[in-house]
Structure 1
């Protein structure tokens, strides 16, 4: 069916009959609401136009690739069905139940497509979309996460960061966690049981923070039980707080530089007897933060989050109050640069205190040899003096073995804390 309205919208319609072109939708040759027969063999032609919403038309246009041939003519080819399907799934990634068993090669393309559609930037879809990928592919999505000096990014994207349950390295240096941050509930859960390297320097952590950090490992034997490298530099930690770290049996290296701990023979004796560690003569390469970086499929996503979090609102040319004009953008930038310079100077003046696991395959240092030699000589002298006393104390020791062993002061304090 044709009408005069179609002529103005879609133009004229021509057909070829006996080698000549003829217009079939002219106003004089065709009635307003009637069909036009084009051929003598009872054949008719009808034009049907469908109207689609604007968003659906855009998706349909994306199903074709427009190119130019050698003669300069425009040509289009349909996209592969696989690409169309991946684009559709990426657009609805928050509604996907699971990707378990989906090939990794296809998952990379699907993740890239979802990233191009900004699905991980929108707060309503980012957490669910990253959770679908993290549950299926684990450390391939994100293996190492560096949030050094990015406290604002940690606060804004905490729900998304909690999705990554296969992290092996986490750098939270200078994130201002304190002792009661909300992120501690995630850091001490089973979701971070795979962590091997943890950097918590310059976070205002005290002994209470270390007690809370180690509580799941000490009581329930879960949490950060696989931790091997720990950075606690520039935190108000004392010798009492270091006693909570003895539950980390796999700990290999620790950094306690610029803390309230005094480096003396007592501290060295504590690390050697309780944690089988010795003082490192040279700074350890682990705590230079040169090798800590974000690795995984979501690396670009983290960079986009950082760039968006670093965006500052445009300066208002007409401040509302004098205080806003006084505490303006220039002063904020000046103070930030000044604080960074002071921080670099403090790091240069900081006394480095690194302890590492005692390697049994390497010979001990000279100080350790002299210490053991003196202890052996003292032991020989005390052996002869204690021989008469051993016979007298055997009966009392037998009586004590029958009675239950009383709790120490440290055990009582631990029980009161829970």
Structure 2
């Protein structure tokens, strides 16, 4: 793609710097050349760094070959088959360059690009994702969110999951084998939904193998629900606040017998939302997605927020945090 002429001022004179063309490659068929977004043999404006000296004269220096190579890879990221084996330092710089070029905002290539990085660098791309009360973001970026294979913590509180959301299959897939904290409170999740969510674990013994913390607060679940949790062998902390379960001696005994958990007199810090963060290379990418989502009509967004608040607040009751002794 031709960027047009570029001039720099040196010692009071203008000089054109982008009319130098490197050796052209051998001729290729039109079908092959159409696969390229850019011609790597033509110097481009972004290959230079322009600065002013103390006298006010414009100076330029060429970027390093490494930086130019990064730009070329980012521009053609959809042609990359794998990044496995490339050092973490390279991956970090490449991800930052892709983010700067808004690759992850392009719906046509964002999923493939994120999958490349997730397959190669795992939890460094994203180890914690907080989508609390961000249901539009979850629904609009579902395909990209599924590429984050190495999450340790996932907060989906107030995301309107209901009993039959497509993310249920992802939560119990091998892709999230390392997940140890899951927050799905305030989602109108009933006993039937919890039964469906845990079905792969109970029947096929796969999924959520490392789960230690589970938030089911403010969901319309009954005493049947915790019987579906017996398959979570590593569960250590459970939040049942705001559900239809009533705190009593029988409930305490049943929870202890089935799950090995005891009632905690004090609220656990684990379920304090201030501890929930989005962490990893893709942290700013998630923020960019949310910023783009804010362009929805203002009145519509306010109405959805109010409706959501009324819907989830009707389950608010006393706190009943349960944890290991």
Q: Distance in 1 between matches of 2:213 and 2:56?
A: 63
Query: Partner of 1:195 in structure 2?
Result: 179
Q: Tell me, what secondary structure is at the counterpart of 1:215?
A: helix
Q: Distance in 1 between matches of 2:175 and 2:214?
A: 18
Aligned-CA RMSD value: 2.5
Alpha-carbon shift at residue 292 of structure 1 (Å): 0.7
Q: 2:226 aligns with which of 242, 266, 270?
A: 242
Q: Distance in 2 between matches of 1:337 and 1:177?
A: 15
Q: 1:102 aligns with which of 86, 90, 96?
A: 86
| Residue 265 in structure 1 maps to residue 232 in structure 2 | no
Q: Deviations over 1:336-367 (max 9, x none)?
A: 565577589768x6200111012xxxxxxxxx
Q: Deviations over 1:386-412 (max 9, x none)?
A: xxxxxxxxxxxxxxxxxxxxxxxxxxx
Please list every run of 5 or more consecutive structure 2 residues that lacks an aligned counterpart in the other structure.
Answer: 1-18, 22-37
Q: Distance in 2 between matches of 1:49 and 1:170?
A: 51
**Retained in 1: the 8 A contact 2:226–2:255?**
no
Q: Distance in 1 between matches of 2:103 and 2:171?
A: 26
Alpha-carbon shift at residue 68 of structure 1 (Å): 3.2
Alpha-carbon shift at residue 187 of structure 1 (Å): 1.2
Q: Deviations over 1:273-292 (max 9, x none)?
A: 11111110011111111111
Alpha-carbon shift at residue 209 of structure 1 (Å): 1.0
Q: Deviations over 1:170-220 (max 9, x none)?
A: 000000101111111211211111111000101111111111111122122
Query: Partner of 2:105 in structure 1?
Result: 121
Structure index of larger Rg: 1
Aligned length: 292
Q: Distance in 2 between matches of 1:263 and 1:146?
A: 29
Q: Distance in 2 between matches of 1:64 and 1:333?
A: 43
| Residue 280 in structure 1 maps to residue 247 in structure 2 | no
Query: Partner of 1:352 in structure 2?
Result: 319
Alpha-carbon shift at residue 334 of structure 1 (Å): 6.1
The higher-RCO structure (CA 8 Å, 6+ apart) is 2
| Residue 302 in structure 1 maps to residue 286 in structure 2 | yes
Q: Tell me, what secondary structure is at the counterpart of 2:110?
A: helix
| Residue 169 in structure 1 maps to residue 169 in structure 2 | no
Q: Distance in 1 between matches of 2:254 and 2:202?
A: 18
Q: Deviations over 1:286-338 (max 9, x none)?
A: 11111111000000000000111121248xxxxxxxxxxxxxx3xx5664565
Q: Tell me, what secondary structure is at the counterpart of 2:105?
A: coil
Deviates more, 1:185-194 or 1:149-158: 185-194
| Residue 180 in structure 1 maps to residue 147 in structure 2 | no
Q: Deviations over 1:88-128 (max 9, x none)?
A: 11111121111112111121111111011111001111000
Q: 1:153 aligns with which of 137, 148, 154?
A: 137
1:296-375 equivalences in 2 (<5 Å):
296-313=280-297, 329=299, 332=300, 335=303, 350-358=317-325
**Which structure: greater helix fraction?**
1
Query: Partner of 1:393 in structure 2?
Result: none
Q: Distance in 2 between matches of 1:171 and 1:82?
A: 38
TM-score after normalising by structure 2: 0.83
